[in-house]
Amino acid sequence: MPSDRERDLRDDRAEGRDETPQERADRNWNEVLQELRVLQTGTQILTGFLLALAFQPAFVDLSTGQRAVYLTLVVLSAVSSIVALAPVALHRGLFQQGAKPAVVRFGHVSLVIALSTVSVLVVGVVAFVFDVVAGGETVWWVLFALAMLIVVLWLIVPAIIRARVRANGGGPR
């Protein structure tokens, strides 16, 4: 039978988990780290692709506008990496300071921002390639289709599922 102190340390969230706030922060931090790993891998692949383009012989044939788009994508790629790594840097800076819940909240915000920059980056890279290879109106159709796919899968589907979970009495209280 748990003592009064142990009962007081248990979390009061009614979601079926019996964990303290610190245990929840540890679990959530592990989830943030897993998501960061996935995001960072994709960003690194895109960054490598972008950096390799500048050393291709056809790069000199790009128009001034295409070069501007390319450089914007390179900077956006760097920003994505920096934002995605910010929670890790914060965790290192606050290591053993008892700030894990704040680190997890910061990690969540950083991941949302990094996902936003990566979504623009992915659409931009594909649009850039279509502009160089096909040109014309095709670029706008591809850009629109990919942007809509991101909106549906990353925003609308989670919103629908969140609403259904809440309607069924689930979710955080």
pLDDT of residue 14: 54
pLDDT of residue 173: 47
Q: Is 137 exposed, middle or buried (0-12, 13-18, 19+ CB in 10 A)?
A: exposed
State pLDDT tens for residues 140-173.
999 999 999 999 999 999 999 999 988 887 766 4
Say how far residue 170 (Cα) sits from the centre of its chain. Answer: 25
Confidence of residue 2 (pLDDT cuts 50, 70, 90): low
Mean pLDDT of 104-118: 91
